Structure 1
C-alpha cells in the first residue's frame, strides 16, 4: 500500500469516527448516488460526500473535514456542478445540503428565512398562502442560496433587480467551524463578500430574503413553429426596445426530441417561444402584448395566473438532466445580431438557444449591494445542449461555446454568474472591480483555501 493510500484510509477513518452516517465514503454502497449532482453530465468524484440535516451538522462537518486535512465543496442541488467540475475534488468533501430544507415566512415584514438546501418551489409554496412570492428563477428546482448569492435573474428582474438584492442576512459556517450571522450590521465585510462570493467563503446554512407582494401575475408563453423564427425573433427584438421595465421576457428556439412524455403538439418539433411576466393590470398588459399577438401564435397562454404558476411558464426540466451550456451578455440586439442568433439557433444539435431581456433595474446597482449587485447589458444569450453520450461531451461543449461566441461582436464582456457552466474566466469577467476586495475577504475568513466553489475567487 502506498503512502497516499495509507493517508486516504486514515482520513476516511477520521471522518467516519467523527461524523458516522453523516458522511458517505467512496467505499460505501451509496457513494455513486450521493456524489451525483442535478446536472448528470458532470461525473464529480470527491473524496467523500457529507450530508448535514442541521446547522450543527454543518459545523461538525467543517471541523472534521478540515481536521482531516481535506477541503470542502458546498453544494445545494448540483445545478452548477459543471462549473465546480473545473476543480480537483480528489481531496475534497462535497457538502450536499439537500437535506437541510425548510422555509419560515414572516408575512408582516414580507421576508422568508430559507435553509441552505431549499429550492425555489419550497419558498413559493410557503409564501403563496400569504399572497407573496419571490425573485425566483425560471426553474423551481434550483437552490435559493446558490441562485440568490450569485445574482439571480427572475421574470420580475427588470422591475426589481437581481435576486441578490433581496438578501438581508446570511448564516454561514466559516473555515474555522464558526457559525456566523452576516448582515448589514454584523460581520458586514463578510455579508458584502458572500453576496457574490457565495460558497467560496463558507457553507451557507440559511438566508433571509425579501418577498414580493404579488399573489398573482400576468404571465405566460406564446409559441410558433420554428419556420416562423426569423419573423418572430426580429419582432420580439424590436418590441423589447419599447416595453416598460414592468415587462421581463425570454425568446427561445427549442428543438424538442420525439418523446411520449411531451404533448403531441410539441414532441419531435422545432418551435420558437416567448415567455415571461408583465407587472401591469390586465388591460395594460394585453395592450403591451398586442404586437406579439399580431403575429398569430398557434398557442397563447398569457393571462392572469397565481404567482406560483410562474415557476412553470419556462418549462425547465424538473428531473436531473445531463446538459452543458454557455452564455454571453450583450450590449444590444440589432438586426444583424438577431440574424446571428438565428443561425446559431437553427442547429438542431442545440436543445435550446435563448435570449433573455435584461436592462431596467437589473443594470442599476443598489446602494447597499454586495460584491455583485447589478448586471450590465441589455440581453443575455444562452445556448444549451444535452449530453446523452458521455463520449460526446467534448463535442457538445464545443458546440454550445461556439454558439455563444457567434455573438461576441455584441458582448459587453460581463458574465451572469448563475449561468456560468465552467470553461470561462469568471473571475475577471464576473466580478470586475470587486475581485480584489473579494480575495481580501477570502484571505481573512479562509486563509488556507479550505472552500472550493463553482466560481473560485
Structure 2
C-alpha cells in the first residue's frame, strides 16, 4: 500500500499525532473558520489546515504532511485564493501563515526582515518611524510574501520596478523538510526560482526586502461623477502617455452600492477616480497634475502625505470580500481602447473597472532578477465584481471577463501574477524565456510534487 492509498482516518491520525493543535482537520469545530480565505468566494475544502507559529513549526508541518502522503499549499491571507480553485484539495493541507507575523527593520541598510504571514501594514508600521517605506500594494492587509514573490505592482512601480526586485533573501522550508536560506550567494538557483515561482518551491517563512527612503510622498485621488467618465478617461490616457516614470496612477470607474458605512459622497454612486503617487517635489508634482485638475474634479486629495498613508487612497475593501476578477496587460491605450473601456465599465455586475499605468521600470527586466522581474506592457486592465451569494458567481464572472475582453485588440501576451485570482488563467507568459528553467528547477527541488502552487506553470 502506498502512502497515497492509506485510509483518510490513518492520515488524519498521523497528522494529529505529529502536530497536535497545530493542525485543524475536517470535522473539527474550527475547520470552517480555518479554511476561510480573504476572498470568501473561494470555497476551499482541504484535507486539513495547519497553523504554524514559527519556522520550526513549518518544518514539522511539511515533514508530517509529506510523511502522510499528502501535499502542501502555502497561504498567507488568501487574497488570491480563487487562483487555487483549479486544484483538488482533498489530499492537500493548506499551511496558513496567519500566525507567523513580525517585521524587523535595519534602518542603516534600509532593509526589513518580514515573517511569512505579515501584512504590508506590519511593514509600514515598522519602517515609518525610520523615515522609510516599501514597494507595497494598494491594500495594507495583503501578504508581503505572496505579493512580492509574485511580482507586486505598487504606486512606486514605474520609478522602482516590481516589488519582487526588492527581495534580497528568502527563507523557506523545502520539500524534504529542510529550512533553507536562498539569496544571490546561497542556493542561488532556488532564489531565482522562488522570485516568481513562489509557493511551488516551499513554504516561505521570511523574506528580506529593500526599503525606500521616503518618509512622505505626494499622493491622493481625483474624483468625478461617472457622467464625466469618457472625458476624464481620454484625458488620463493622453496624460499617462507622456508622464515621467516618477508618476504611477490608476483610473477606475466604480459602481458603489448604497451602504451606510460609506460616506455620503460615495454611497450609491457611480464615479470615476484617478489615484496614485508622484515621486517629485510638491511644486513639480502639482505642475504634472495640472491637466487633470483642469477637469474640475469634485474631490481632489493630492497632497504631501506620510508614506504609510498611501495604502488608504485606493479605498480597497477593509474586510474579507467575496469578489471575482479578471485582467489583461495592454500594449497601449489609444482613443479606441478608451472608448471600449468606458463602454465596458457599464456592464451589469461590474463593481470596478480599472486601468493601471505600468511601463517604465515595470517593463525593464531587473539585473540579477528571478524567474519574474518585469511585466512588458503599458497598462493593466482589470474588472472586479462582488458576488455575495454563490449563485451570483457565474453572472459576475461573465461580466468582469467581458470588461477585459472589450479591450482584446490591445492585449499583449504578458500577465500580472498578482492580478490572477481565477483558476483558468494561464500564468506561464509571466516567465517568458525562463519558463523551461523554472519547470526544470521545480522537478529538481520538488520531484514528488509536494507543493501545490496557486498559479501552476
TM-score > 0.5 by shorter chain: yes
Q: What is the alpha-carbon root mean square deviation over aligned residues?
A: 1.2
Shift of 1:429: 2.1
Matched, 1:112 2:112: yes
Is the 1:427–1:435 Cα contact (8 Å) retained in structure 2? Answer: no
Is the 2:86–2:424 Cα contact (8 Å) retained in structure 1? Answer: no
Quick one: distance in 1 between partners of 2:415 and 2:6?
43
Determine the structure 1 residue equivalent to 2:134: 134
Give runs of aligned pairs for residues 281-300 of structure 1, distance below 5 A: 281-300=281-300
Quick one: distance in 1 between partners of 2:416 and 2:176?
30
Shift of 1:422: 1.8
The C-alpha deviation readout for 1:181-223, integer Å capped at 9, x for no partner, is: 0000000000000000000110000000000000000000010
Determine the structure 2 residue equivalent to 1:401: 401
Give runs of aligned pairs for residues 21-420 of structure 1, distance below 5 A: 21-420=21-420
Quick one: distance in 2 between partners of 1:8 and 1:393?
32
The C-alpha deviation readout for 1:325-381, integer Å capped at 9, x for no partner, is: 000100000000000000111224211000000111001111100001011110000
Q: TM-score by structure 1 length?
A: 0.98
Is the 1:255–1:348 Cα contact (8 Å) retained in structure 2? Answer: no
Quick one: distance in 2 between partners of 1:121 and 1:4?
40
Quick one: distance in 2 between partners of 1:15 and 1:456?
26
2:242 aligns to what SS in structure 1? coil
Quick one: distance in 1 between partners of 2:219 and 2:16?
50
Shift of 1:315: 0.5
Determine the structure 2 residue equivalent to 1:14: 14
The C-alpha deviation readout for 1:237-261, integer Å capped at 9, x for no partner, is: 0000111100000000000000000
1:287 aligns to what SS in structure 2? helix
1:317 aligns to what SS in structure 2? coil
Quick one: distance in 1 between partners of 2:395 and 2:453?
25
Is the 1:417–1:426 Cα contact (8 Å) retained in structure 2? Answer: no
Q: 1:264 to 1:426 in 2, by over 3 A?
A: same
1:321 aligns to what SS in structure 2? coil
Quick one: distance in 2 between partners of 1:201 and 1:428?
16
Shift of 1:391: 1.1
Q: Structure 1: state its 5+ residue gaps.
A: none
Quick one: distance in 1 between partners of 2:339 and 2:302?
27
Shift of 1:437: 0.4
Is the 2:375–2:430 Cα contact (8 Å) retained in structure 1? Answer: no
Quick one: distance in 2 between partners of 1:401 and 1:4?
38
Quick one: distance in 1 between partners of 2:4 and 2:150?
36
Shift of 1:5: 10
Name whichever of 186-195 and 421-430 sits farther off: 421-430
Q: Structure 2: state its 5+ residue gaps.
A: none
Quick one: distance in 2 between partners of 1:280 and 1:19?
52
Is the 1:330–1:377 Cα contact (8 Å) retained in structure 2? Answer: yes
Is the 1:220–1:276 Cα contact (8 Å) retained in structure 2? Answer: yes
Quick one: distance in 2 between partners of 1:156 and 1:337?
25
Is the 1:15–1:23 Cα contact (8 Å) retained in structure 2? Answer: yes
Give runs of ≥4 in structure 1 deviating > 3 Å.
3-6
The C-alpha deviation readout for 1:55-98, integer Å capped at 9, x for no partner, is: 00000000000000000000000001000111111100000000
Shift of 1:423: 3.7
Q: TM-score by structure 2 length?
A: 0.98
| Equivalent pairs, count | 455
Shift of 1:4: 9.6
